[in-house]
Amino acid sequence: APLEEDVNMSFGSMLLHGLTMSENDGDLETCCRAASVLSHVLKGNIQCKERVLQIEVEAPMPALGAPEPLMHRMVKYLALASSMKGKDGSTSGTSYVQPIILKLLVTWLSDCPSAVHCFLDSR
């Protein structure tokens, strides 16, 4: 979104935008930062965990399918981060992404049975 539009976005909209940017390398870093913020928001807040569970995001290309829960998108990003390799064949450039997304998932799943069910339904 252009900078002018960003000024008018709510905090939640900006966070969701950061979490769901496309999966190229730079955007995965943005997603990672947004995931870190969301994990702090969710920590110890069951109502918030349940509310965020209701968020569905559009498929990267609408022709590819129906909206999916945000939880499922985070699981996909975790799988993507684990498969990414740098130009030299190492994972050092993105090694910080996995622990941050894992922290978000663990925080979200803790004391929230419906989040666990949603997680188990992800592919």
Report the range of poorest mean pLDDT among 20-34, 43-57, 67-81.
20-34
Residue type (1 letter), 57: V
> Which residue segments constitute the domains of the chain, with CATH numbers given?
3-121 (1.25.10.10)
**What's the mean per-residue pLDDT of the chain?**
83
The DSSP code sequence of the chain is: --HHHHHTS-HHHHHHHHHTS-SSHHHHHHHHHHHHHHHHHHTT-HHHHHHHHT-EE--SSGGG-S-EEHHHHHHHHHHHHHH---TTS--GGGTTHHHHHHHHHHHHHTT-HHHHHHHHH--
Angle at alpha carbon of residue 6, lines to 108 and 52, rounded to 5°: 20
Partner residues linked to 56 by β-bridges: 69
25-34, 41-50, 52-61, 100-109: range with lowest mean pLDDT: 25-34
**C-beta of residue 53 within 8 angstroms of C-beta of residue 118:** yes
Mean pLDDT of 40-69: 87
